[in-house]
Structure 1
Amino acid sequence: MGLIDTDLSFDPRDPYFPAPGATGVEWALQVFTTTNGYGLDSAGVRLSDDRTHLHADRYAWLGQQLPVDAGSVDVAVTSSGGVLEWSIAVRHEEPIKSVKLLLRGLPAEQLRAGWWAPNTGRGRAHGVNGQRFQLEYPGPDWATPWVAAGTEQSGLVLSVRDPLVRRQILHVHQPPYAPGPITELVHLPMASARSTSYQVPPIRLRPGTDAPTADADLDEHMSFVEQAHGLQPWATRPDVPDWMRRIALVVTLHGQHWTGYVFNTFPQMAEALRFVAQHIEPHRVLAYLPGWEGRYYYAYPQYHPGEDMGGAEGFAALTRSARQLGVRLMPMFGGHGANVVQYPPWERAVLRNDTDRYVELLNRPDWDSDRVGEGDQVFLNPGEPEFRAHLVESISATVRNFGVDAAFLDTLGFWFNDPRHDVFDGYRQLVAELRSRHPELVLAVEGWWDALMSLFPLSQQWYGMDRDLRKPRVLNRYARTTGHLAEGTPGQGSTGVHEKGFLPRPPDVFHEGHIPVVGISDTTLPAQADEVAAICRWAAEHGPA
């Protein structure tokens, strides 16, 4: 992941070039390899008279102290229909790690108003009044590589038309040596396809937007995304069965904590569903089962009904009870997570850093509250065939043996630049193999972004992120979200199997395309029965019929 709290301690002295057709806007380029970062040698640059083509036959160390004969750069800047587009081709003797386009001279008033992505919270903006910030795609803050600065009535748009899922970073700051803000757009090639020559996908700048032109630009961008990733509208996507379109409430039935503490046995889960069914039509309920496999995350990636909750017999009885009521069941699986004790071949699949030097961890939770992260939890790449086959068979066996209706895959919204296996291609193959076996199975995921929605029609909203979006159609047109596992239960706010401990349950507010959630821990029923019933009635009133 990119870092926002580090920077150069000197002026890189990049040569800047005027952008054709955009008065006052200038651009520069930096190229980064696995060995060093480079600017263009100002003495080795040739710019065409019309400013639309640049050729550089030499690099320089950042700061311009030393020229480096290590490759060349060709940049074409075209202007059409009010849009500037950069086409950048770089060659270097060393493997290319990233390429950065730098822009300066963008309208100061628009930059002071701040930047926003389609999934930025309504009324919010990044970098207001020059505050340094960074967005990273794909991830919670940047769901598609399109971003605007300024107000709806007066602004600009910056976007990347990338047909693949690759890291894009937007970083805006004003270092002491710069006369004004510098907007950086960094593109990272996939580490699994790293080479000494690279073509950056088109980077587009549309200055001088008002609300209609910005909206039209976003729609054009999403049309490109639809074509690139096979993203289909919710109304017509074939991986959404009719029952899923009627779901109005997700009920989280917490199972067994990492420590072994049991929140609900399988008979208690069935009893909770019977209570819920008294207050909302049960066919409109999806029951989500984290910790059903035994010790949450400790048992990963081995998935069998936990013995302390009732084992296979108890789980089968739960599925029968749910079926009789009309409630749909969605057990949880780890999309990446594994305990090395439970999965001996973990080293073949573990996520690695981009140069394949060390293991990448998404996080290191302290599950037992000794204030130290556990040492045996790792994250595996579904792009690795053996782990993907294990995950497919684990989910498939649960469907075959118990007839569950959906499967939730944790953490797959997080993207990694693993050099051994393309992680998104692994997601795609995982989904394709599951759909070929179980066409009616609904697949859900933690987090969402544009290409990920092409695979998963349902997601948990990113933890802590606003659901009232600036441009909600980038989500609602394609998929649905529900509340995160870490949303507290009614009453004390227990997060159940999740590591957050206790958090107040947020109030229910209607947002189109968002399915409310209510969690059931060990103390929720009957102590908070009235509140649970009220939540069920609210969901029934506001959800699809």
Structure 2
Amino acid sequence: MRIDFAEDFSIDGLFILKESTKVCAAGEQSLIIRTHNAVSDPAVLQSIQSVEKTKDSIQLYFADDRNEYSYTVEFIKSTNGVLVKIKVDAPRPIWLVEWKLNGFDFDEVLVPALGGQSISKDMPQGSSLSYKYPFWWNSQFVIGKTTNGGLIFRSEDKSNELKLLRVSKTKKNFEITFGQEAAAPLNSNHLEYEFFIEAFEGDWKRGVNIHKKWMKENFNLVDYKKHPHYPEWMENINFILEPWGARKGTKAHHTFDQIVDRLHDWKKLHDPNQTLLYLPGYAQNGVDSNAPNYDPSEQCGGPEKFKVLVDTAHRLGYKVMIHTNILAMTFVHPLYEEYKKFTTTDPWGRELTWGLDIDGDWLPEPFFAYMNPGYNEWGDLMTKVLGDLINKYKLDAVFVDQTLLAFNNNRGPNFIQGMHDHIKRLQEEFPRVLFAGEGINERVLPRLPVVQIHGIDSIAEVHGMDDRVQWRNVHPISSYLFGDYTKFMAHLLTKHTSDPMFKLQEESYAKLNVIPSLSLYSYEQEMDTPETRKMIERAKRLNKE
């Protein structure tokens, strides 16, 4: 790779050798500094004050007119490209720094976010997409693809610090923003970070392999089949049967007796030994109701009927997985006041919660608090709660929702490390139980041999089905990156086969090699449909591939 600078030190040309493919012309770089109390009124630095050059590096110094905000960016020759080092100073504590460069003539940009995304050059001018690492942006790199190769922008950061990626379209070309968030608490006026810009030739997988090799070595990854907490029975599973249970304020989707009926009917369509019975809404008044109390719902039939359901499922050959949340505690839970001090905070010290907009005013009403999984006290409680259920009902698996969350908390244990360690503790306490998570990122990847993937969200709004755009498509970059280390199954909110969005959703899951799921949101919804039978045929091929 070669970078040519113009007289004003804009990027005159960035080339991928050996065919000298020019992927950036007239590239303008700038830096945005967002301080802790002026996040929406940032300083934007574009004026170069001085330049230092050596044989293998060039360092540019930028500052504002009053010399309050400044940064240096150093481009250093590396083995496969360029190492970019950034140092920033501000008059107040820094929250977020964003380095951006425009002028990239890529055919598409590939992002390991959600289920994996491809952003084509048809992205409209003025459009911009933002991704936070490691929450939705699941691995710290992005690829710009050309006909014969491409560029990979990537970081080799083993810390738990958050990062930001923006992909924008300016004029006819792409703009890439690579940002870094300061670790909370926000009390430093100085921030440093670095990343690589490297070239590769050929298929996009060759670009992914550059980071995949580093990721495997630095996060101690193993093939999911060799994971100590991946049960042998999971290797037979190729279908998820997902009948929903209780729901708030109205009658249940299914009673436990009705789910038993479903099990007998499903046996006529597909082998129960290859089916994982997944039970969202089996507890209390529905998903997350009174969490972390996960006692079986009285609305659905209560503990006795639930035991009959699980025992029947086991007798027929099914494995059973309940739905729980890794860190939810509702405000009405009897232990909330005692555990409130363990609530996760943001960088400004605000307590973080999950809410639902019940009255349509765009302001979510509070539903539950996010507990910091790094606190041992939270681990003690969850071990007791889940252990009682596992032992009483002989459960095979527990789904722990929201394991992909990643917060920059300003008090208590580090949230991201805490998530990793909390899951590890549960696995070690119950070594024969499968713990599956929601989504995946390289920080929790070592812990989760089975996950739900957000395949449909890569082509629509997050957790939604609206605003489909033709220039953003699902791409197997994430399944290729993570697929050796975890097994993918369909997301909790998968549509029923009668839904207008089902076809698009199933096409996405098939492309990503995801275990199919039949979600049943009422006892009246049909199971035996042509679409279901097509999913079953795809499921049978999964075990052969």
Change (3 A) 1:444 1:365: farther
Q: Distance in 2 between matches of 1:372 and 1:31?
A: 29
Residue in 2 that maps onto 1:168: 163
Of 62, 76, 80, the match for 1:78? 76
| Contact 2:36 2:186 (C-alpha < 8 Å) held by counterparts | no
For residues 141-290 of structure 1, the aligned pairs below 5 Å read 142-173=137-168, 182-191=175-184, 195-200=188-193, 202-207=194-199, 209-212=200-203, 214-290=204-280
Change (3 A) 1:424 1:22: same
Taking only aligned residues, the RMSD between alpha carbons, in angstroms, comes to 3.6
Q: Distance in 1 between matches of 2:187 and 2:543?
A: 47
Q: Match of 1:149, as an amino acid?
A: G
Q: Distance in 1 between matches of 2:361 and 2:52?
A: 61
Residue in 1 that maps onto 2:480: 473
Of 298, 302, 321, the match for 2:293? 302
Residue in 1 that maps onto 2:3: none
Gaps of 5+ in 1: 1-14, 494-501
TM-score (norm 2): 0.80
SS at match of 1:450: coil
Change (3 A) 1:181 1:86: same
| Contact 2:238 2:543 (C-alpha < 8 Å) held by counterparts | yes
Q: Distance in 2 between matches of 1:55 and 1:173?
A: 24
Of 120, 131, 135, the match for 2:130? 135
CA shift, 1:447, in A, is 1.8
Of 43, 47, 52, the match for 2:52? 47
Of 375, 384, 392, the match for 2:375? 384
Change (3 A) 1:53 1:194: farther
Q: What do residues 289-331 of structure 1 show as CA deviations (whole Å, max 9, x unaligned)?
A: 1111121222222111112222222222222112212211110
Q: What do residues 123-154 of structure 1 show as CA deviations (whole Å, max 9, x unaligned)?
A: 65377364432231336763312212243425
| Contact 1:410 1:445 (C-alpha < 8 Å) held by counterparts | yes
Residue in 2 that maps onto 1:497: none
CA shift, 1:122, in A, is 7.2
1:450 matched to 2:442: yes
Residue in 2 that maps onto 1:464: 457
SS at match of 1:482: strand
Q: Match of 2:162, as an amino acid?
A: R
CA shift, 1:263, in A, is 1.8
Q: Distance in 2 between matches of 1:505 and 1:43?
A: 52
Q: Match of 1:146, as an amino acid?
A: F
Change (3 A) 1:44 1:229: same
Q: Distance in 2 between matches of 1:173 and 1:370?
A: 30
TM-score (norm 1): 0.80
Q: What do residues 380-432 of structure 1 show as CA deviations (whole Å, max 9, x unaligned)?
A: 33233333332232222211211111111122223222222422112112111
CA shift, 1:340, in A, is 0.3
Gaps of 5+ in 2: 1-6, 16-25, 460-472
1:438 matched to 2:444: no
| Contact 2:94 2:186 (C-alpha < 8 Å) held by counterparts | no
Using the TM superposition, name which of 114-123 and 457-466 deviates more. 114-123
Q: Distance in 1 between matches of 2:222 and 2:474?
A: 22
Residue in 2 that maps onto 1:8: none
Change (3 A) 1:103 1:369: closer
CA shift, 1:440, in A, is 1.9
CA shift, 1:518, in A, is 0.5
Q: Match of 1:128, as an amino acid?
A: M
Residue in 1 that maps onto 2:22: none
Q: Match of 1:359, as an amino acid?
A: E
Change (3 A) 1:193 1:399: farther
Q: Distance in 2 between matches of 1:507 and 1:133?
A: 24
Identity %: 18
Of 296, 315, 329, the match for 1:324? 315
Change (3 A) 1:490 1:524: farther
SS at match of 1:451: coil
Q: Distance in 1 between matches of 2:220 and 2:394?
A: 29
Q: Distance in 2 between matches of 1:362 and 1:17?
A: 46
| Contact 2:85 2:195 (C-alpha < 8 Å) held by counterparts | yes
Residue in 1 that maps onto 2:341: 348
Change (3 A) 1:330 1:535: farther
| Contact 2:355 2:365 (C-alpha < 8 Å) held by counterparts | no
| Contact 2:427 2:435 (C-alpha < 8 Å) held by counterparts | no
SS at match of 2:336: coil
Q: What do residues 101-133 of structure 1 show as CA deviations (whole Å, max 9, x unaligned)?
A: 2324x44x32xx342224576765377364432
Change (3 A) 1:532 1:81: closer
